[in-house]
Amino acid sequence: MKRTKSEDWDMKILKIENGCGYFLANNKTDWTMIDQIDKEGLLALLNLFLDNEASVDAPSEENPISNQAHQIIYNSVRDKLETLRENKNRFHDESARLYLSEIEKYSQS
């Protein structure tokens, strides 16, 4: 079944459950413990993040990561994704401004 854009909105790709961190695996249905992430898993996670409006759980007192290895890996991946989100928005804005005149020119044709 093909997903619509509204179903992709706020797709969760990182979650915290029972004191452990998990990432959404390649098939977009299975959750895998964050300490098992490898290069392919990171790439798949990155692609999901770039192709969807993705969300991640934030560790908190109510929802902590008690496994120290999970905490380190999860926070590192989460921080990198947040930085990418900030840069992705800035890149999109800069690209839109840079090519605005060309877009307007060809839109009028």
More confident residue, 20 or 8: 20
Q: What's the pTM?
A: 0.72
Asked whether the beta carbons of 13 and 51 are under 8 A apart, the reply is no
Q: Look over the chain and give the mean of its residue pLDDT values, rounded to a whole number.
A: 84
What are the CA-CA distances from residue 85 to residues 49, 57, 78, 81, 91 (Å)?
9, 15, 10, 6, 10
74-106 pLDDT, tens digit per residue, is: 999 999 998 988 887 787 788 778 888 777 778
Asked whether the beta carbons of 70 and 106 are under 8 A apart, the reply is no
Q: Is the pLDDT of residue 35 over 80?
A: yes
56-70 pLDDT, tens digit per residue, is: 999 999 999 999 999
The structure tokens listed for 76 are 């590192």
Rounded-to-integer distance, Cα 84 and Cα 64, Å: 24
Asked whether the beta carbons of 75 and 31 are under 8 A apart, the reply is no
Q: What is the pLDDT of residue 79?
A: 94
